[in-house]
Structure formats: C-alpha cells, structure tokens
Amino acid sequence: MDDDKISRREFSTKFLGTALSISFLETLLMGCSGGETLSIAKTNKIVDVKASQVLNHWAIELNNICGDLKADKISQTIWQEQIDKLFNRIELSELLRFIDFERLSDQFSFPNRGVNTKNVMFPKLDGLPDRTVFVKKIFGMQKGRAIVPHGHTNMASAHLILSGDLNLKHYDRISEDKTHVIFKPTIDRSLKPGDHSSISDERDNIHWFVATSDSAFSLDVIMLDLGGKEYGIQNLDINESEKIGDGTYRAEKIDVDTALRKYGKDHHQGTMRTLNG
C-alpha cells in the first residue's frame, strides 16, 4: 500500500473509532486523498546545495529501507536499527527546512485532546518514486496532550522529534486475545528535538507520548500492512493494568472515545495500577 491510497477514515476509525476520533485525526492521511501536500522543490532555495544533496540521498535511502521491509527482505528489528542510523545522520535544522516545518507548524490546528497531523511530501528526485513506500506525517500536540497508549499489529513506525519535549513510554507486547494485551514495560524516557524512537511487531510494540512543553512535533515514518496482512491498532487502558508476574502486565483494550477521555489530555503518566499483587 502506498501513501496516496490509504483511507483517512479507515485509519482514523482504527486509531480512534467514532465521530470524535475521526475529527481527532481527520487530517491523518489528508494528503493521501489529494489534500494538503508540500513540494520541497518550491522551498529548496533556502537549503544550501551540499545540504540539499545530503537530504536528497537521505530521502532515497529511507524509501529503499522501507521498500526492503515491505518486500520482507529485512526483519522489522533490522528496519528499526537502520532507521535509527538514518535519523542519527541527519542535521535536524536542515531537515526542518527541507520539509518547510515553519510553514506546516504555523498552519497547525491543535485539538483539545490528543494530536493532529499534517501530510509531508518529498520532492521529485531521481531514484525516489512519486509515491513512497511509507506514509510520512508530522504529528503535533499541546502541553499535556497525548498520543494515547496503543499497540500495533502488522505495522512499523519511526518518530523523530522536530520541536518541543515529550515523555515516552514503550512496552513489548507479549500476547493478546480479543479483549486484552499482555505486555512488559521497556522504555520510560524524556525526548527532546533530534531524539527518536520506533515500534514494530518485534520490538517496543506499544507506545505512549505526552507533550511536556507548550507544543511538540514529530516526523513519523509509518509502514502499514506488513507481511501482506491488514494493520491494526489497539488502544489500551495501561494505568489500570493487572500485574501477572515476571514483570508482565495485562491491559484491557478500550475504544477510542474512552482512550481520549482517559489519556488524551492532562493525564499523568504515573505508575501502573496493579489490581493483583
């Protein structure tokens, strides 16, 4: 699936569910249906030639790595490692100019709960197809707002902090059934501009971001329908988890409205409540 053919409503419904959720991420895949796009060719005049060449090569390499994952030529954890190396190589200030971040952020409309997004388009480059293998978005939120805790199936994504500060919690999904997910906490850290993280079915599958500065933005690289299977997103009631031993917990899957109400705004990322033990 390429990023011009993904249903906004389908992705929003999986992540959020109802009318509230659809408005919450109504622009998540806006550019995929002919909405807002950005041609970097129009803004490259503010990027020096050397930086532009580096960024162009970086964008092509990013698409190639994502193509390898889509074709099952590399594992999801190898993809995560390679994306980490790519993010470490890029100068953040140059990338911000490359995607015209100032323009995108100036036009940003923040929701009262959760996050909003804008589509990002790369320039036409030799070696880069018009439709990249991956979905590319900036996510933005106000202080105290969150990307609610959720897990993924048949997905991988990477997240580069562009501005602001966030707190991030990661968890490994051990198993799941129709109503619950068993998981183990893996990461709890603060993020600043230039920091990055990633998820996949194989590592750090569940994540939860909360903005701790007045606003915060990330560039997200998203891979869907891996292994030829339809992707899925499961919102989780992390702070009501049941401790089941060996450092693992069991959390209930919750609908989007509940997730937004409980975690979308001014929710403290405190210690998980343990119902047993």
Domains located in the chain, CATH noted: 8-263 (2.60.120.10)
- Identify the bridge partners of residue 218 per DSSP, sorted by sequence position: 139, 161
pLDDT exceeds cutoff 50 at 82 = yes
Q: Please tell me the pTM assigned to this model.
A: 0.81
At 47 the three-state DSSP class reads: coil
Number of H helices, E strands in the chain: 7, 12
pLDDT at 6: 47
Q: When comparing pLDDT for 208 and 130, which is higher? A: 208
Per-position b or e across 212-237, b if 16+ CB within 10 A of its CB: beebbbbbbbbbbebeeeebebbbbb
Angle at 7 between CA 63 and CA 140, to 5 degrees: 70
Cα separation of 15 and 21, whole Å? 8
Q: Which residue has the tokens 């709960």?
A: 113
Cα separation of 198 and 157, whole Å? 6
Q: When comparing pLDDT for 127 and 269, which is higher? A: 127
- Reported as a pLDDT band with limits 50, 70 and 90, residue 124 is confident
Average pLDDT over residues 101-129: 88
Average pLDDT over residues 129-143: 93
124 burial via Cβ count (<10 Å: 0-12, 13-18, 19+): exposed
- Reported as a pLDDT band with limits 50, 70 and 90, residue 1 is very low
Q: Which of 96-100, 134-138, 220-224, 236-240 has the lowest mean pLDDT?
A: 96-100
Q: Among 223, 241, 54, 206, which Cα is nearest to 132's?
A: 223
Cα separation of 72 and 210, whole Å? 32
Q: Which of 6-10, 105-109, 150-154, 166-170 has the lowest mean pLDDT?
A: 6-10
Cα separation of 259 and 267, whole Å? 11
Amino acid identity at 43: T
- Reported as a pLDDT band with limits 50, 70 and 90, residue 8 is very low
At 87 the three-state DSSP class reads: helix
Average pLDDT over residues 112-134: 87
pLDDT at 245: 86
Reported as a single tens digit per residue, the pLDDT across 140-197 is: 999 999 999 999 999 999 999 999 999 999 999 999 999 999 999 999 999 999 999 9
- Reported as a pLDDT band with limits 50, 70 and 90, residue 269 is low
Please provide residue 211's backbone torsions phi and psi, each rounded to the nearest 5 degrees.
Answer: -75, 130
With a pLDDT cut of 90, the percent of the chain lying above it is 68
Reported as a single tens digit per residue, the pLDDT across 16-71 is: 443 333 333 333 333 333 333 333 333 333 445 556 788 889 999 999 999 999 99
pLDDT at 21: 39
pLDDT exceeds cutoff 70 at 9 = no
Residues 6 or more apart from 57 whose CB is under 8 A from it?
Answer: none
pLDDT at 166: 98
Q: When comparing pLDDT for 80 and 104, which is higher? A: 80
Per-position b or e across 150-177, b if 16+ CB within 10 A of its CB: bbbbbbbbbbbbbbbbbbbbbbbbeebe
pLDDT at 277: 35
Instruction: Give CA torsion, residues 107, 232, 213, 25, to 10 deg.
Output: 30
pLDDT at 241: 96
Cα separation of 145 and 269, whole Å? 11
Please provide residue 54's backbone torsions phi and psi, each rounded to the nearest 5 degrees.
Answer: -65, -45
Q: Mean pLDDT in the chain? A: 83
Average pLDDT over residues 67-89: 98
